[in-house]
Amino acid sequence: MEDIYSDYDYSIKKNLKKAASNSLSIREANSSTDIEAYCDLSDFVARKHGRPSYSREFFHNVYRFMAPSTNARFLLAWCHERPLRDVCTW
């Protein structure tokens, strides 16, 4: 990890330190509740950029059929055990 970290530029290192000091963690989705949080984030980003949203059914199907075989992964940022979108404004 040190070798990887040492290659990051200053801004990335600064953001990583900020994330650690704010109890931010990254973990893979492991439930339908986590996928709902992912859907909420996807909807937020779509609205922000004026794009149509993907259906929630799409994400749930990808999770149900592809994640078990490791063909798809959903990663979410969490702050104090809540999805980052819900609690932190950076």
Domains and CATH numbers, the chain: 2-87 (3.40.630.30)
The pTM is what? 0.71
Query: How big, in percent rounded to 5, are the helix, strand and coil portions of the chain?
Result: 60, 15, 30
Type of residue numbered 15: N
Question: How many CB atoms within 10 Å of residue 49?
Answer: 7
Exposure string for 20-33, b = 16+ CB within 10 A, e = fewer: eeeebeeeebeeee
pLDDT in tens, the chain (90 residues): 576 677 888 888 888 888 878 878 888 888 999 999 999 989 988 999 999 999 999 999 999 999 888 888 888 888 877 877 655 444
pLDDT of residue 78: 85
